[in-house]
Amino acid sequence: MGRITELLDTAHSRSQAHSWSFSGALLPHEAYELLQIAPGARLIDVRSRAELDFNGTLPDAVHVELLSWPGWVPNPHFLAQLEQATDPESLLLFICRSGPRSHRAASACTEAGRGNCYNVLEGFEGDLNKATGHRNELNGWKQRGLPWSQS
């Protein structure tokens, strides 16, 4: 069994264990590894433009807002914009700040008939550390030392 298959099987098992509709769920380091080795895999960053500007961006990610700031207004063109920006056969790895929006995006795309949709658990900034009131301390893409840049 190849590494791509191992990663996808692990992701699929997580999704099945939680009865999620999308193909699977990956930890940030698994998503990054998959992006390096799986031809055509795409990281879809669903954070708002404001989040990208203030918190940083992911190299080579496709940005399609799920919700816009201010007001967290749903993007009515999300699925159409995603379809225009990606190949229909690509593995799509959705990421947001901490996981819930990317979960919604992966579910919405799956329900719209798109296959190969994966959620990146923990997101870009990870869970809130209740002891300090900060993100980027417990988990997430940034905390794991994966590539990103500040505008």
Three-class SS string for 57-123?
ECCCCEECCCEECCCCEECCCHHHHHHHHCCCCCCEEEECCCCHHHHHHHHHHHHCCCCCEEEECCC
The CATH number given to whatever domain includes residue 89 is 3.40.250.10
What's the whole-number average pLDDT of the chain?
97
For residue 68, give every residue at least 6 positions away whose Cβ sits within 8 Å of its Cβ, in sequence order, or none: 48, 49, 74, 75
Q: What is the pLDDT of residues 59-89, one digit of tens each?
A: 999 999 999 999 999 999 999 999 999 999 9
Q: Please indicate, yes or no, if residue 140 is contained in any of the structural domains.
A: no
Tell me what pLDDT residue 151 has.
Answer: 72
| Residue 99 lies in domain | 3-120
What SS3 state is found at 42? strand
